[in-house]
Amino acid sequence: MADLLYDLLNPTLSPGRQPSTPDPIALQYLTSLAAQPLSHLETVEPQTLAHDSHSLLLSLQGLSQRSHKTIISSSESHAGLGRALPALATSISDLKAVIPKLDDAAVRFSTTYHKSADNDVLRARRTALLLSRNVERVVDLLDLPTLLSSTIATSSSSLTANYTSALDLSGHIRRLHALHPDSSLVSSVSLQADEAMQLMAKNLIASLRTPNLKLTSALRTVSWLKRVIPDLNSFGDTSVNGAGDNGGLGALFLICRLSTLMNMLEALEPLRELADQERLRQQQNTPSSGAWSGGQQTERYLKRYVEIFREQSFAIISMFKSVFPPQPPRELSTPDAHDPLQSMPSTLSTFPLHIIEMLIETLRTYLPNVKDQASRDSLLTQVLYCAGSLGRLGGDFGILLASLDFGENLEDEWVEVVRRHRLMAGRLESIVGSKEKAAFHFIAGLGSGVSGAVLLQPFDLLKTRVQQSGSHSIRSAIRDIARSPNAVAAFWRGTVPSALRTGMGSAIYFTTLNTIRQQASVLASDSRSHDHHRPSSSALPKLSNTTNLLSGAFARAFAGFILMPLTVIKVRYESSMYSYSSVIGAARDIYRTDRIPGFFAGFGATAMRDAPYAGLYVVSYEQFKKHLGHIYGPASDRPRGAGMAGSVSATINFSSGALAGATCSFISNPFDAVKTRIQLQPHVYRNMFHACQMMVTQEGVRSLYDGLALRMTRKAISSALAWMMYEELIRRAESTWQREKTSEHV
């Protein structure tokens, strides 16, 4: 239908047109018209067409309004195209006429400025082009001296000088100069860099003269000087003697430090002037009084002088030996040759002589002015300490002081001062030795306590479970622990706090006990002189029963108070009443619920348990050792002063410790049971007496002995192990100290 309508209407719409393919849009419109009723075509369709026509008209008007300028411009351009085409044709004709001339000029230019031609302009151009391509490198090269100077200035002004960057820059410049020795630019840069490095060398040498020079700074400075002035490092080499002062650097170091020492001594100029005035008055025999009568001004000057000298001289020599360690001596190539010019001595070998001579000259000048005997003795003692200080470095000059003329009765005064000095030095050595031994006692006690706690932790865990449950059955406690997911690890639950508590407690206990017994042995040395040569399994002092009881009780109470927080944490962590996941969690929970007093819960019962236990243990231990030693053999069967063999002494100590531990555990077990209840339930058991009363009333007297078998077994074995290990370590250490002391005397 649509095709028929299209064919019917097409001649009418487009008269004179050739038949063509039907327009799809027209066909679609005709199809829609054919589908409409006649009434619709008569009424609605004309209106729709009128509306669409009006809309198209409006669109055309809007397009004209928006694009009229473009349309006008296109029309004008089209009109100008007719005028431009003739002008273009004229220009093309002119270009055709000029092209031959341009070709001739190009050929002439190419011939003249060809790259193979020798032309000054081309050479200058190539030079300029090369400079243009490398302008950044040239600028960087020219900036090297400035950068080096600024780096040195920045490093010198900073608190911690660091010339590493400056040395790297200097090395880079030297490498450039070695690669391009004929370049005037590189030579100029190298010359400026050398001037900057000379300034750096001056700064480094000046840093060696600082008053408070540290060893690390000296090491860095000397290492930098070796790189800045390599010739100085090889100058004056004395390695033939094995001096190890690295040529001129060692001498430079000593000169700088000597200059610092002289500057510090020159700062005492006001005191020296007062001492000179005092000396002049004494030479003129002018009567005076007050501060001038006994040489107080001279004493002040000399004290300060010797103090500075002692500190600086020791620092200089010790620092020199650290910076320039001695080198192995180098053998001469011709050992039989007689060289009239012997090698120069080491710089360090002559330096102490120079400064000692300076000190002795000062003492010779000013010490006779000090008239007060106490002041003279104090000064001489200070000088002896200075001599001893240098003596540690091989520069003891104490013997030279005897040659000084200090006045009348010099010999007696000198002998008395030396005697007092040696007495004070001996006391100081004994104090240092006692501190070292105390540290060893602490370590020995720590090791024995930790090992015993780790090995016997299952017994302590079972004892805690039995005491807190009140079932009086070890088997039930073992079954409860065995039901845990990891039964083997469950028996060692709480090992960390127990090891910390026992280890630190043993260390503090043995150290305190040893200190108390050592002091008591000095006071009671005459009462035990008859047992001095009796063979013994112990290297510890022998005391009376009362002294052993009191010293053991006090040492254990002191250690228990310090470690009470660890004890409370250990008991809570081992108990089944609390499900702590870690030791830190247990500590936090105790602090949250009971605050600081919670960490010391049960201290009274612990002290009542541990103090008598420790006192009785020391007494029992010493008595068992004495009786077992008699069983081993009387004193007449052994050489005088001979000790027991190591295996025998260890057996006696272990047996004595086990017997004493079992005995004292039985006596102190009620206090341990009460202590455990208080630490587990501090809100139920208010104090030791209340806990004891409740336990006896509710569970009977037998509750006071809950866990006795476990505690006796654990205490016997742990005490035996701890004391045996401690005694053996101390005995071996005493033997070593005695051998070292004997070898020193020899």
Alpha-helical segments (H) within 36-134: 38-112, 120-133
DSSP annotation of 399: G
Q: How confident is the model at residue 259 (pLDDT cuts 50, 70, 90)?
A: very high
434-443's contacts with Cβ under 8 Å and 24+ in sequence apart are: 434/518, 437/733, 437/737, 438/511, 438/514, 438/515, 440/729, 440/730, 440/733, 441/510, 441/511, 441/514, 441/730, 442/507, 442/508, 442/510, 442/511, 443/507
For every residue of 545-591, which 3-state class applies, written as one string?
HHHHHHHHHHHHHHHHHHCHHHHHHHHHHHCCCCCCCCHHHHHHHHH
Q: Mean pLDDT lowest for which of 154-168, 220-234, 370-384?
A: 154-168
Contact of 166 with 148, CB cutoff 8 Å: yes
Q: How confident is the model at residue 639 (pLDDT cuts 50, 70, 90)?
A: very low
The pair of three-digit structure tokens given for residue 550, joined into one six-digit string: 């009191």
What's the Rg (C-alpha) of the chain?
53
Q: Spell 267-292 as b/e; 16+ CB within 10 A means b.
A: ebeebbebbbebbeebeeeeeeeeeb
Which carries the bigger pLDDT value, residue 314 or residue 1? Answer: 314
Quote the CA–CA distance of 548 and 536 in Å, as a whole number.
17
User: In the prediction, which pLDDT does 533 show?
Assistant: 42
Q: Is the pLDDT of residue 336 over 50?
A: no
For residues 162-182, give the mean pLDDT: 87
CA distances from 84 to 72, 80, 94, 98 (A): 18, 6, 16, 21
Alpha-helical segments (H) within 158-268: 164-179, 184-207, 215-228, 230-234, 248-266
Q: Is the pLDDT of residue 536 over 60?
A: no
Query: Domain 440-525+534-737: which CATH class?
Result: mainly alpha
Which carries the bigger pLDDT value, residue 64 or residue 410? Answer: 64
Q: How far, rounded to the nearest angstrom, does the alpha carbon of residue 616 sit from its chain's CA centroid? A: 46
Contact of 721 with 655, CB cutoff 8 Å: no
Domain locations in the chain as residue ranges: 1-49, 130-207, 230-329+347-407, 440-525+534-737
Q: Identify which of 616, 611, 579, 577 has the alpha carbon closest to the alpha carbon of residue 467.
A: 577
- Please, which residues have CB within 8 angstroms of residue 346's CB and are 6 or more apart in sequence? 238, 241, 243, 244, 245
Which carries the bigger pLDDT value, residue 66 or residue 407? Answer: 66
User: In the prediction, which pLDDT does 410 show?
Assistant: 59
For residues 366-377, give the mean pLDDT: 80
Q: Is the pLDDT of residue 606 over 90?
A: no
Q: How confident is the model at residue 12 (pLDDT cuts 50, 70, 90)?
A: low
Contact of 230 with 292, CB cutoff 8 Å: no
Quote the CA–CA distance of 250 and 238 in Å, as a whole number.
10
CA distances from 47 to 33, 41, 44, 51 (A): 14, 10, 5, 6
Quote the CA–CA distance of 539 and 533 in Å, as a whole number.
12
Q: How confident is the model at residue 737 (pLDDT cuts 50, 70, 90)?
A: low
The pair of three-digit structure tokens given for residue 268, joined into one six-digit string: 């005492």
Residue with tokens 């089944």: 576
User: In the prediction, which pLDDT does 240 show?
Assistant: 43
Residue with tokens 């000397």: 222
For every residue of 447-497, which 3-state class applies, written as one string?
HHHHHHHHHCHHHHHHHHHHHHHCCCCHHHHHHHHHCCCCHHHHHCCCHHH
Evaluate the CA torsion angle 438, 442, 448, 452 in order and state its sign: positive
Residue with tokens 């067409």: 49
Q: How confident is the model at residue 399 (pLDDT cuts 50, 70, 90)?
A: confident
- Please, which residues have CB within 8 angstroms of residue 255's CB and are 6 or more apart in sequence? none
Which carries the bigger pLDDT value, residue 702 or residue 526? Answer: 702
Evaluate the CA torsion angle 328, 334, 337, 339 in order and state its sign: negative
- Please, which residues have CB within 8 angstroms of residue 626's CB and are 6 or more apart in sequence? none
Quote the CA–CA distance of 96 and 94 in Å, as a whole number.
5
Q: Is the pLDDT of residue 531 over 50?
A: no
Quote the CA–CA distance of 471 and 463 in Å, as a whole number.
12
Q: Mean pLDDT lowest for which of 75-84, 226-235, 301-310, 338-347?
A: 338-347
User: In the prediction, which pLDDT does 467 show?
Assistant: 60
Which carries the bigger pLDDT value, residue 678 or residue 429? Answer: 678
Which carries the bigger pLDDT value, residue 491 or residue 662? Answer: 662
Q: Mean pLDDT lowest for which of 62-66, 633-637, 681-685?
A: 633-637
Quote the CA–CA distance of 558 and 606 in Å, as a whole number.
11
Q: Kindly tell me the number of DSSP H helices and DSSP E strands found in the chain.
A: 26, 0
For residues 301-307, give the mean pLDDT: 91
User: In the prediction, which pLDDT does 425 show?
Assistant: 61
